[in-house]
């Protein structure tokens, strides 16, 4: 009886979600005449839909189930939706990203009024979030692919919102091509798997995949890895991320970076642990190594970028790398028959997925607030915003601390768990694998340190010291909807850092459903313990300890009678006459040590142009310093590929003679060939 | 219950009040090695006291982060003092975190200190912050791989567990990998605490500073807190080096006799390490800034070797 009540509630929530989003989408279109109304209606619809989705997801995590199939909506099996714990978890992740994004968008999109269609944006936003929520719930090939494509299209239109700028169109185009290249890989992979197992339904694949021979499994795995990997943004398939995410409006960037790329993670999880089952060693090892490389390279690219949003986009590549480290570790543990450790690694990866959704959305919203207030993303023109936008600054600081994996925030716990699962690899006794794990530990540590450096730079240059330009000096705090959205996420970051057991319990249940064994950890409100004592941490106590000492130290000093006199004065200038923003450290300068140490990766192109005063070489008129890092991947991987494709296209042009008769002959030949092949 | 609280308090007080003495001893040893008489070993106490009695001058460009950071630094150091087993492996609050959590707690302090360096809007502060986070970031892999090496042999990452295991089975430590891990950890300790050859704590030339440049703007009680926190960080790192790699003397039970022995053992070990640091600082010149990554990469390779030997030589 209880199960029936829950299940009917789940169905109700599912319908409610779809209804709210439809109302939001249609409402935005109907109120197209009034931009203010379209903005509010569209996004409130999305907000309500996301809240319903969150409830639905939480119900799914608690064990509720749902089945829905609409046979005539799509060919070959119709549209089939169902929920299990893993799908429910990802719905929760999406909802946690979408609720603040919708709230934020109400205030943020105000400045688009009159320039772009707010009705169109509202419509596309609702379609985008709906598609994202339905993807984890899809249970057959065509529903999945249709929704995947819908998600990509809706996000494409949102990315090119500011299409009056040429770079936006070009970046959107790169995104469009990359996402469809990934889609092509997915399509081939899905069709091969469907043909080999004889069914298009996901639920039957887990069992049937055992019949596949090794070559086809490997091929299918590679195709899925390419398809889902390109959506997730692993290196070298990441080139669209730093282009598309900065170009999009900030609430869309928050959703894309925080939530959409996680669906690539979802896909890989399904492939590795559900559809294809346990695979050979090289699957897990490849994912782990790819994760390590993405983590390090992602943060290295973020470190030298002066565009605040592109920095955050590269940082997403880094965090996907960390998630892949956990995922690869889990796959390797699975191969070596250590389900407890595999489950631990998966818990770490999934927890980091959730955390990243929270703090990356927060950071993008903060960057959006800065953009909204100063109209520039270039960190070299920002500064001093902590005094002009104090609350946004605090929220961005919380996001920075969380992403740098510092206690007492949520990023610390998920990275700690990832470290523990990687360190526990000593239970495997295969020297090559041990070495791979050791390098994974080193990569994760380097990533972590560099991420802290990156966000010291991002927060410090943007918000601290003096403003480096007029717009920064005139910035004002942003609308309450934007601040409320950021506050929600900041609260989540702190809450999960102090009380991670709240999310670890459903996560553990999810993972044990997937792997079939309990994770090698136990936790309660007090502490999180990995592997019965290999490592432990007590987040609540750390937070309390920090708070206690933070209050005790000033008190103790006052009791001891230290000098309480304060004086404000100028910064020490080593003898200079006045202080302007020109004396501050710049973002480029801050990254210089890294640029030099990792010059092999950045291949910087430096140009220095000094123009002297016409009368004397002792006086300098202007100095132009040009230092551009070139993207290794675009140069060595993509451009040659594009050149090859263009060469092939040029060769194929010979077929286009313009003569109708030759075209008819082509059709005849193709038809005959198809008939011969299939018969 | 009361004894447990007293023991934690004792450990805290030892770290708090022993750290300026440690700094004083290192300076005295350096002075002697350089042929000078040197200031008294109690001089750092006098310096801190003097700073607490002075007026605080704060730059107009700064924000609340500048004023908050010294308190946060003190907080993280004191919290770490509760976790690090200086005297005993049975400290009641040591369950708060294992060695990985400790490293991240210290990184929290570095993060805020780097922000404070940028806050005043001076080029020196920015330069110091930039270099400090670069050194910290490049030292992270070494630290964690060295920890991996230790944890492999001890079978746990909990500080108490490592010490207990090594104290019970000293032969576990008798291999090349352990020595390599010690060496790597020592280099990291020098790097993280701003000691030669990475950073000269006694330099007056701003362009050669890393840590000192970040704290140039601090004065009065804020500077006192920052300097004290730096001394505590050095104390904690040396305590870790002493007790993780030479666990003899650490109290395994909370009896008064064991604690007194632990205190004396710690004093001896720290004195020896202070001497070693003074020797290192007197013999080497400060590395050029862009040679420091090479040093750190070298120590990383050493640490990685420590881990690899653990896998291949069972």
Closest CB to B100 among A416, A460, A560: A416
B17 touches chain A (CB under 8 A): no
Choose from A410, A523, A537 for mutation: most chain B CBs within 10 A.
A537
Residue B72 belongs to domain spanning = 2-312
Residue-wise pLDDT for B20-40, tens only, equals 999 999 999 999 999 999 999
Q: What is the mean pLDDT of chain A?
A: 90
Instruction: Compare CB distances from B293 to A450, A589, A597 and report the shortest one's residue.
Output: A597
Contacts of B96 in chain A (CB under 8 A): 537-538, 541-542, 545
- Beta partners for A70? A79
Q: Is the pLDDT of residue B95 over 90?
A: no
Interval B235-264 mean pLDDT: 89
The CA distance from B177 to B271, in Å, is 25
Answer whether A535 sits within 8 Å of B105, measured CB to CB: no
The CA distances from residue A133 to A60, A302, A538, A626, in Å, are 13, 29, 34, 44
Q: Report pLDDT for B290.
A: 86
Confidence band, pLDDT 50/70/90 cuts, at residue A608: confident
Confidence of residue A46 (pLDDT cuts 50, 70, 90): very high
Contacts of B79 in chain A (CB under 8 A): 542, 545-546, 549
Split at pLDDT 50, 70, 90, the class of A4 is: low
- The interface predicted TM-score of the complex, written ipTM, equals 0.95
Q: List the single residue in A with minimal CA-CA distance to B205.
A: A574
Cα distances (angstroms) measured from residue B198 to each of A535, B112, B296: 31, 21, 10
Environment class of residue A16 by beta-carbon count within 10 Å: exposed (0-12), middle (13-18) or buried (19+)?
A: middle
Contacts of B120 in chain A (CB under 8 A): 465, 571
What is the enclosing helix (H) or strand (E) of A67?
strand A67-70
Give the range among A280-284, A525-529, B76-80 with minimum mean pLDDT: A525-529
Residue A5 has pLDDT above 80, yes or no: no
Q: Is the pLDDT of residue A621 over 90?
A: no
pLDDT on residue A224: 95
Contacts of A574 in chain B (CB under 8 A): 124, 206
Task: Supply the pLDDT for residue A570.
Answer: 86
pLDDT-based confidence at B204, cuts 50/70/90?
A: confident
Q: How far is B208 from chain A (nearest CA, A)?
A: 14
Which B-chain residues 128-147 have CB contacts (< 8 A) with chain A? Answer: 129-131, 133-134, 136-141, 143-145
Q: How far apart are CA A586 and CA A581, in angstroms?
A: 10
Q: Domain count of chain B?
A: 1
Going from N- to C-terminal start, the domains of chain A cover: 607-655
d(CA A323, CA A262): 9
Contact by Cβ (8 Å): A496, A353: no
Contact A13, A56 (CB under 8 A): yes
Q: pLDDT category, B314, cuts 50, 70, 90?
A: low
pLDDT (mean) for A91-105: 95
Interface probe for A, chosen from B99, B119, B123 (most Cβ of A below 10 Å), is: B123
Q: Largest Cα–Cα distance in chain A?
A: 100
Q: Is A573 on the interface with B (CB under 8 A)?
A: yes
Note which residues in 173-202 of chain B have CB less than 8 A from chain A.
none
Q: Does A550 contact chain B (CB < 8 Å)? A: yes
Is the CB of B45 inside 8 Å of chain A's CB atoms?
no
Q: Strand B56-59 relative to strand A566-569: parallel, antiparallel, unpaired?
A: parallel
Per the structure block, which two tokens stand in for A202?
């996901």
Mutate to test the interface with A, among B111, B184, B289, B313 (most CBs of A within 10 A): B111
Option in A449, A466, A567 nearest B121 (CB): A466
Give how far Cα A199 sits from Cα of A71, A76, A192, A195, A202, Å. Answer: 15, 10, 11, 7, 8
Chain B residue with CA closest to A460: the answer is B115
Tell me whether B61 touches chain A (CB under 8 Å).
yes
Q: What is the pLDDT of residue B225?
A: 96
DSSP code at position A116: S
Chain B, 211 to 240: residues with Cβ < 8 Å from chain A are 216-217, 220-221, 224-225
- The label of the residue with tokens 């060693």 reads A281
The pLDDT of residue A372 is above 90: yes
Q: Is B125 on the interface with A (CB under 8 A)?
A: yes
Q: Is the pLDDT of residue A583 over 90?
A: no
Sorting pLDDT into bands at 50, 70 and 90, what band is A638? confident
Confidence grade of residue A9 (pLDDT, cut at 50, 70, 90): confident
B95 touches chain A (CB under 8 A): yes
Which pLDDT does position A550 carry in this prediction?
Answer: 95
Say whether B131 and A445 touch across the interface (CB within 8 A). Answer: no
Q: Which residues of B touch A443 (CB under 8 A)?
A: 141
Q: Which residues contact A475 (CB under 8 A, 6 or more apart)?
A: A370, A373, A374, A385, A388, A389, A467
pTM of this structure:
0.94
Residue with tokens 């892999």: B141
State whether the Cα torsion A504-A505-A507-A512 is positive or negative: positive
Residues of A in contact with B157 (CB under 8 A): 420, 423, 534-535
Q: Which residues of B touch A578 (CB under 8 A)?
A: none
CB contact under 8 A, A465 and B53: no
Cross-chain residue pair B220–A563, CB shorter than 8 Å? yes
Indicate if the pLDDT at residue A311 is higher than 90. yes
- B248 touches A: beta carbon within 8 Å: no
Count of A-B CB contacts under 8 Å: 258
Q: Which residue of chain A has the CA closest to B153? A: A426
* B96 Cβ under 8 Å from any chain A Cβ: yes
Model confidence at B252: pLDDT above 90:
no
**How open is the CA angle A321-A325-A329, to the nearest 5 degrees?**
165
pLDDT (mean) for B30-53? 94
pLDDT for res A412: 95
A304 contacts on B by Cβ (under 8 Å): none
Which contiguous run of DSSP H or E holds residue A422? helix A410-423
Q: How far is A460 from chain B (nearest CA, A)?
A: 6
| Cβ separation B60–A545 shorter than 8 A | no
Sheet hosting strand A521-523, strand order edge to edge: A521-523, A528-530, A535-537
Cis omega (within 30 of 0) for bond into A414: no
Average pLDDT over residues B269-290: 92
A109-120 average pLDDT score: 86
pLDDT of residue B94: 79
Does B158 sit within 8 Å of A535, measured CB to CB? yes
pLDDT attached to residue A79 = 83
> A590 vs B123: CB contact, 8 Å cut-off?
no
A32-91 residues touching B, CB cutoff 8 A: none
């Amino acid at each position: 009886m209880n199960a029936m009540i829950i299940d009917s509630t789940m169905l109700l929530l599912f319908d409610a979600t779809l209804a709210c989003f439809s109302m939001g989408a249609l409402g935005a279109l109907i109120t197209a005449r009034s931009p203010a109304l379209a903005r509010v209606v569209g996004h409130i619809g999305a907000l309500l839909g996301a809240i319903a989705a969150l409830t639905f997801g939480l119900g799914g995590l608690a064990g509720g189930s749902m089945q829905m199939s609409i046979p005539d909506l799509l060919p070959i099996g119709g549209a089939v939706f169902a929920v299990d714990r893993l799908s429910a978890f990802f719905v929760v992740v999406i909802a946690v990203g979408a609720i603040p994004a919708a709230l934020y968008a109400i205030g943020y999109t105000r400045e688009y009024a009159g320039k772009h269609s707010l009705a169109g944006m509202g419509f596309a936003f609702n379609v985008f979030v709906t598609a994202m929520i339905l993807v984890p719930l899809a249970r057959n090939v065509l529903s999945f692919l249709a929704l995947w494509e819908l998600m990509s299209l809706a996000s494409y239109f949102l990315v090119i919102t500011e299409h009056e700028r040429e770079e936006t169109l070009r970046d959107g185009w790169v995104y469009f091509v990359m996402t469809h290249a990934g889609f092509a890989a997915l399509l081939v992979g899905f069709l091969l798997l469907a043909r080999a197992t004889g069914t298009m339904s996901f639920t039957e694949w887990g069992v049937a995949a055992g019949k596949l021979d090794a070559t086809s499994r490997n091929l299918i795995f590679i195709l899925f890895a390419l398809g889902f990997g390109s959506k997730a943004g692993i290196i070298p398939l990441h080139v669209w991320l730093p282009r598309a995410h900065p170009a999009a409006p900030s609430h869309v960037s928050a959703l894309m970076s925080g939530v959409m790329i996680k669906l690539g993670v979802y896909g890989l999880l399904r492939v590795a642990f559900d559809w294809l089952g346990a695979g050979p060693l090289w699957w897990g090892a490849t994912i782990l190594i790819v994760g390590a490389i993405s983590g390090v390279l992602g943060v290295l690219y973020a470190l030298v970028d002066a565009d605040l949003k592109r920095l955050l986009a590269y940082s997403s590549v880094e965090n996907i790398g960390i998630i892949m480290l956990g995922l690869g570790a889990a796959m390797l543990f699975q191969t070596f028959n250590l389900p407890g450790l595999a489950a631990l690694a998966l818990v770490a990866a999934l927890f980091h997925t959730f955390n990243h959704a929270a703090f990356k959305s927060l950071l993008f919203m903060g960057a959006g607030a800065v953009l909204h207030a100063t109209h520039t993303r270039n960190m070299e023109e920002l500064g001093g915003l902590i005094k002009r936008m104090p609350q946004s600054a605090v929220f961005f600081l919380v996001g920075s601390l969380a992403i740098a994996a510092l206690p007492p925030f949520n990023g610390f716990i998920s990275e700690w768990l990832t470290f523990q699962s990687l360190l526990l690899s000593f239970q495997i006794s295969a020297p090559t694998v041990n070495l791979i794990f050791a390098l994974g530990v080193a990569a994760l540590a380097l990533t972590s340190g560099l991420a802290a450096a990156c966000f010291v730079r991002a927060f410090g240059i943007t918000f601290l010291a003096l403003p480096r330009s007029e717009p920064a000096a005139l910035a004002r705090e942003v609308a309450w909807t934007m601040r409320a959205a950021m506050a929600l996420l900041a609260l989540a970051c702190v809450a999960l850092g102090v009380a991670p057991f709240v999310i670890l319990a459903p996560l553990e249940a999810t993972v044990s459903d997937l792997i079939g064994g309990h994770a090698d950890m136990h936790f309660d409100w007090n502490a999180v313990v990995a592997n019965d004592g290999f490592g432990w941490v007590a987040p609540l106590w750390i937070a309390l300890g920090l708070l206690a000492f933070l209050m005790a130290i000033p008190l103790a000093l006052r009791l001891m009678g230290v000098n309480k006199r304060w004086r404000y004065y100028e910064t020490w200038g080593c003898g200079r006459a006045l202080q302007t923003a020109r004396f501050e450290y710049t973002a480029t300068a801050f990254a210089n040590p890294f640029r030099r140490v990792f010059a092999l990766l950045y291949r910087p192109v430096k140009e220095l142009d000094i123009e002297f005063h016409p009368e004397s070489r002792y006086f300098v008129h202007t100095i132009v310093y040009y230092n551009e890092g070139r993207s290794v991947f675009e140069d060595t991987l993509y451009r040659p590929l594009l050149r090859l494709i263009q060469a092939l296209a040029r060769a194929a042009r010979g077929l286009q003679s313009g003569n109708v008769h030759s075209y008819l002959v082509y059709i005849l030949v193709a038809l005959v060939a198809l008939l011969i092949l299939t018969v | 219950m009361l004894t447990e609280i007293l023991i934690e308090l004792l450990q805290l007080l030892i770290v708090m009040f022993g750290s300026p003495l440690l700094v004083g001893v290192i300076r005295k040893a350096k002075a002697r090695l350089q042929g000078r008489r040197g200031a008294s070993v109690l001089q750092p106490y006098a310096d801190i006291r003097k700073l607490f009695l002075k007026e605080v001058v704060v730059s107009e460009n700064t924000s609340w982060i500048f004023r908050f950071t010294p308190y946060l630094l003190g907080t993280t150091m004191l919290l770490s003092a509760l976790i690090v087993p200086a005297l005993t492996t049975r400290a009641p609050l040591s369950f708060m975190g294992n060695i990985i959590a400790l490293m991240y707690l210290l990184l929290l302090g570095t993060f805020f200190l780097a922000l404070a360096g940028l806050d005043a809007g001076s080029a020196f502060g920015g330069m110091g912050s930039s270099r400090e986070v670069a050194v910290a970031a490049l030292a992270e892999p070494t630290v964690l791989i060295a920890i991996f090496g230790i944890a492999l042999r001890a079978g746990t990452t909990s500080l108490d567990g490592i010490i207990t295991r090594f104290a019970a089975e000293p032969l576990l430590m008798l291999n090349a990998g352990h020595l390599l891990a010690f060496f790597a950890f020592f280099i990291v300790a020098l790097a993280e605490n701003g000691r030669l050859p990475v950073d000269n704590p006694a330099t007056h030339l701003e362009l050669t500073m890393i840590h000192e440049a970040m704290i140039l703007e601090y004065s009065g009680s804020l500077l006192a807190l920052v300097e004290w926190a730096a001394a505590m960080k050095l104390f904690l790192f040396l305590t870790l080096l002493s007790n993780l790699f030479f666990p003899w003397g650490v109290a395994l039970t909370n009896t008064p006799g064991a604690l007194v022995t632990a205190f004396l053992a710690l004093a001896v070990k720290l004195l020896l390490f202070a001497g070693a640091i003074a020797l290192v600082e007197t013999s080497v010149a400060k590395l050029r800034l862009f040679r420091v990554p090479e040093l750190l990469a070298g120590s990383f390779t050493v640490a990685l070797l420590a881990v690899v030997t653990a896998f291949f030589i069972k």
